[in-house]
Amino acid sequence: MNLPRARSINQLFILGVLLAGSPLVIGMVWNFVHVQNLLEQSESLVAQGLELGRESEKLDTQVAELERNARQFAVVGERNVLDLYRQRHDRLLDTLDWIDLLVDDIRTTELVNMMRRAADSALKRLDSATPPPDDEQVGESFQLLRTLSDDLTGRATQMVRSRLERLRDATQDSRTVSFLVAGAATLSMAALLALSAILIARPIRRLDTHISRLGEGKLNEPIAIPGPVDVSNLARRLDWLRRRIIEVDSGKEQFIREMSHQLKTPLASIREGTELLLDGSVGDTADVQMEVVEILHQNSLELQRMLDNLLNFRAWRDDPKQLNREEFSLTALMESVVDRYGIALISKKIDIFVRATDALPVNLDRGKIRVIVDNLISNAVKFTPAGGKIQVLGQNDGDSVIVDVIDNGPGIAAAERERVFELFYRSSQFSSQLRGTGVGLALVRAYVEAHGGSINVISTNPGGHFRVRLPKS
């Protein structure tokens, strides 16, 4: 059976609050009802105790009045005194009935009946005695009534105390139960709130994960998130965005591939033509013309490197883990790359030094390592001012090799030292003539990490300093 889904995060939150608060509300209602019941019992018991106190006091007074009337009758023997006795006798019986009703206890009823019989017996003796009984006989008749009256008063007091004890125990039990109910309600509320938070937070976390994957360029996994309807709708929009990014990337790569191949042939012709002019194969060239040819040649090399970067980056995107390892000397590779920039170095009067502790034998992908070194040296040549200096250093470090490319150009701002490795990022601190495509350093980091290495910008002032650490194999 499929449970209905909340239509929104707000609806889910409100439902969670209602469910979480219901145990507490139920506990509060139960406490209110129970306390109200205890209050009513307490009020009833107080009223009963006061009434019993008054009736017990009245009973003692009535017994004393009856005994006094009986003694008066024994002295004077007049019938009007006996009639007054009968009236007080009836009032005594009414009081006994009321006490019996108030206490509602078997032992109390027995005492009431015994006292009623004793009172009736005393009345009968006075009514039938000729001559009237003397004072001693009256005292003997009322001794039992006084004893029963005391017993009845004590029993009533005992019953009130017993009920008071039961009420106190019930109050204590109610307090204990109230604490238990409050604790259970609090735990239930906490559990339901936690469950609601989980139900809300889980789809939000999954949304955050998918957004992070989109930002990292991981576009292969479809986005579908169960949960509230508005979250599911947002997930569908994100999946539509993922598909659109894939389509745009595909079109962009297709454009880059087509343009790169279209430009390679005419660019190669321009480079070869400038090389022929530079080496004098087609005749002598004036000095002014030679400077123009050198500029054309350097720009053609720079364009060639940009195209190679674009093609290499596309190839890496297709298969980022492919490495064609072979044994070679890293020192010799650095020297050969430097040789390609001979004309540019001479024209800008830049001194470049390649120093290594030894041949630095490695077992790596020669083509990708060449791209790494070529891009770093190209950037150093581009940003180093005329008359500057570039150092290309290599050294062993255990099972790794370290390559440092250092120049005395403007360097890289601290805020941009991580961002320069992002794809298509172009620093804002340089003019548009110096800014590249934003692909070179991104490709360098991709190739370094593919070998299990790392690349960092080292803080120097002034100048730029890139350090590459690679495993030897």
Number of neighbouring beta carbons within 10 Å of residue 131: 7
For residue 171, give the nearest of 60, 42, 9 by alpha carbon: 42
How many helices (H) and strands (E) would you count in the chain? Answer: 10, 7
DSSP 329: E
Distance CA 304, CA 307 (A): 5
pLDDT, position 404: 93
pLDDT tens digits for range 367-416: 889 889 988 988 888 888 888 899 999 999 889 999 999 998 888 887 78
Looking at residue 415, the DSSP 8-state letter turns out to be G
Please provide the CATH number assigned to the domain covering 9-198. 1.20.120.240
CA 97 to chain centre: 71
Query: Percentages helix, strand, coil for the chain, rounded to the nearest 5?
Result: 70, 10, 20
Ranges of CATH 3.30.565.10 domains, the chain? 322-471
For the chain, residues classed under CATH 1.20.120.240 are 9-198
Return the pLDDT at 122: 75
Q: Which residues of 1-35 are buried (b: 16+ CB within 10 A; e: fewer)?
A: eeeeebeebeebbeebeebbbebbeebeeebeebe
- 381: nearest Cα among 330, 338, 422: 338
Measured in residues, the chain has a length of 473
| Number of neighbouring beta carbons within 10 Å of residue 224 | 12
Classify burial at 324, counting beta carbons within 10 Å of its beta carbon; exposed 0-12, middle 13-18, buried 19 or more.
exposed
71-80's contacts with Cβ under 8 Å and 24+ in sequence apart are: 71/135, 71/138, 73/126, 73/132, 74/132, 74/133, 74/134, 74/135, 74/137, 74/138, 75/135, 77/131, 77/132
Write down the pLDDT at residue 36: 77
Contact by Cβ (8 Å): 418, 463: no
The CATH 1.10.287 domain(s) of the chain lie at: 228-318
Main-chain phi, psi angles of 71, to 5 degrees: -70, -35
Distance CA 84, CA 87 (A): 5
Give the CATH class of 322-471: alpha beta
Query: Which CATH class, in words, describes the domain spanning 228-318?
Result: mainly alpha
> What pLDDT digit, counting tens, does each position of 217-276 carry?
777 788 887 767 777 788 888 888 888 888 887 777 777 667 766 776 776 777 677 767
Helices (H), 324-415: 330-339, 342-347, 366-383
The reported pLDDT for the residue numbered 446 is: 85
Cα 72 vs. chain centroid, distance in angstroms? Answer: 93
Treating both helix axes as pointing N-terminal to C-terminal, what angle do 106-128 and 9-76 enclose, rounded to 10 degrees? 20
* 473 residues of the chain, pLDDT tens digit each: 444 555 566 666 676 666 666 766 776 777 777 777 777 777 776 776 777 777 777 777 877 777 787 777 777 777 787 778 788 878 878 878 887 777 777 877 787 788 788 777 777 777 776 566 666 666 666 777 777 777 777 777 777 777 777 777 777 777 777 777 777 777 776 776 676 667 667 777 887 887 888 777 777 788 887 767 777 788 888 888 888 888 887 777 777 667 766 776 776 777 677 767 766 666 666 666 666 777 676 677 667 766 766 666 666 566 667 788 899 999 999 998 888 887 778 878 889 889 988 889 999 988 889 889 988 988 888 888 888 899 999 999 889 999 999 998 888 887 788 888 877 777 665 544 445 566 778 888 888 888 899 999 887 777 888 999 999 88
In one-letter notation, the amino acid at residue 361 is P
Whole-number pLDDT of residue 3: 46
Q: What are the tokens at 95?
A: 């009081």
Q: How many CB atoms lie within 10 A of CB 262?
A: 10
3-state secondary structure of 69: helix
- Cβ contact 465:369 at 8 Å: no
Backbone angles phi, psi at 407, to 5 degrees: -135, 170
Residues 206-211: contacts with CB within 8 Å, 24+ apart? 206/235, 207/231, 207/234, 207/235, 207/238, 210/235, 210/238, 211/238
pLDDT of residue 328: 92
